[in-house]
Amino acid sequence: MSRTPFALVAVMLLLALTACGGAEPDEGGTSGYPFRLRIEPGAGGDPVKLLAVEGQSVDLGAGDEPHTLTVETVEGDTATVTTSEPVTSDGAEVSHVTVTKGEPVTFTAGDEQWTVTYEEMSVE
């Protein structure tokens, strides 16, 4: 009895399982990450949405030197976001803000005010 058909079936099964695994988040899917950060400018305008994934970053503001926010840590219902330049939050100058689900954080960067909300992802 030959083992060739068994090996062929095993390889085909592995390929099928790999193909059915779905998209990884870095390939455009978001199913593996249940939370995101919604970053809203105080002066109006469209909010910026950022996956709550360590290492993700976004540039805020206009001009030659945008302000960069980077997700540093994500633990359960809380995310810590570092800022490229110190910002003012709750009257203090800080280099990071911690956002908890349901408790938005507001900070000022330069002349702009921003509100960061940590929220569950939903189908929109």
Indicate whether this model's pTM tops 0.75. Answer: no
The phi and psi torsions of 10 (rounded to 5 degrees) equal -65, -45
**Which of these, 50, 89, 48, 91, lies nearest to 72 by C-alpha position?**
50
**pLDDT band at residue 115 under the 50/70/90 scheme:** very high
H helix runs in the chain, sequence order: 4-19
Q: Is residue 10 part of a domain?
A: no
CA separation for the pair 87, 81 (Å, rounded): 12
End-to-end CA distance of the chain: 55
Q: Is residue 5 part of a domain?
A: no
Q: Is residue 21 part of a domain?
A: no
Domain count across the chain: 1
Q: Is residue 11 part of a domain?
A: no
Q: Is residue 112 part of a domain?
A: yes
Q: For residue range 91-109, what is the model confidence (pLDDT) as tens digits?
A: 999 999 999 999 999 999 8
Q: Is residue 1 part of a domain?
A: no
Q: Is residue 82 part of a domain?
A: yes
Q: Is residue 9 part of a domain?
A: no
Say yes or no to pLDDT of 73 above 60. Answer: yes
Q: For residue range 9-59, what is the model confidence (pLDDT) as tens digits?
A: 555 545 444 444 433 444 444 445 688 999 998 888 889 999 999 999 999
As given in the structure block, the two tokens for residue 57 are 């970053």
* Close Cβ partners of 73 (under 8 Å, ≥ 6 residues apart): 54, 79, 80
Which range marks the domain in which residue 52 is found?
Answer: 34-120
CATH of the domain at 94: 2.60.200.20
